[in-house]
Structures are given as C-alpha cells and as structure tokens.
Amino acid sequence: TQLLEQSPQFLSIQEGENLTVYCNSSSVFSSLQWYRQEPGEGPVLLVTVVTGGEVKKLKRLTFQFGDARKDSSLHITAAQPGDTGLYLCAGDPGSARQLTFGSGTQLTVLP
C-alpha cells in the first residue's frame, strides 16, 4: 500500500494568517486530489493536479504538485473561519488501483 502522510495533523490559527499543509509520500502518484470535509458532512473535491510541478489556484488557495509527483502542498492566504475543516489529499497509485487517502489535516481558523 502506498501511504500518503499529511502534516501537520492539527493546525489552529487566527483569521488573516497564512498557512501551508503538506501531503508527502515515498511513492510516485499519477495524480493527486485535495478534498475538504466539514463536520458532519462528506469530503468535497477542491482540486486535481496531474503534472509534476503543477500549480493551481482557487481564490485564496494555492495547490502545488511536487516535481517528482511524490508530494503536494496546499497554501491558504489570509485564512478565514470558513476555511475551517479537515483537508484530505488523495493520490492515484496507478496500475488500476483505487485512490489512496491521507489521514488529513484538521484546520481551525479562529475569528
């Protein structure tokens, strides 16, 4: 099983601060997705990255896929309380295997 490790596991910051969370593996993934999950709900897809070195921006969120396709990061600028949630990365290990999910980063943005 190809593992995805996310760090930090928990992050609590004040509104307006910037933050970066990480998704790392020792294995190569064909593509990688980021999901956000709010309490009592299922995960919702934020972005899919497929090319090594790719950077995608979604308003205040910036996603980067590592050059070697073994890691990814999510940077949030000027965090807001609405950004609070569990951020999950999910990678495609290839060979027709199903997505592998990381354990998540629980983000709390305090007003």
Partner 1 sequence: NAGVTQTPKFRVLKTGQSMTLLCAQDMNHEYMYWYRQDPGMGLRLIHYSVGEGTTAKGEVPDGYNVSRLKKQNFLLGLESAAPSQTSVYFCASSSRGKATDTQYFGPGTRLTVL
* Cα–Cα dist 13/8, whole Å: 12
Nearer to partner 1, 30 or 77 (CB): 30
Q: Does 44 bind partner 1 (CB under 8 A)?
A: yes
Q: In angstroms, what is the minimal distance from the CB of 92 to partner 1?
A: 3
Residue 65, Cβ neighbours under 10 Å: how many? 25
Strands 31-37, 85-92: pairing kind: antiparallel
User: Within positions 54 to 73, which residues make up the interface with partner 1, using CB under 8 A?
Assistant: none
- Retrieve residue 91's tokens: 């990678």
Nearer to partner 1, 31 or 84 (CB): 31
Q: Does 45 bind partner 1 (CB under 8 A)?
A: yes
Phi, psi dihedrals of residue 65, rounded to the nearest 5°: -105, 130
Which SS3 state, helix, strand or coil, does residue 60 take?
coil
Chain residues binding partner 1 by CB under 8 A are 1, 4, 6, 9, 30-31, 33, 40-45, 48, 50, 88, 90, 92, 98-99, 101-104
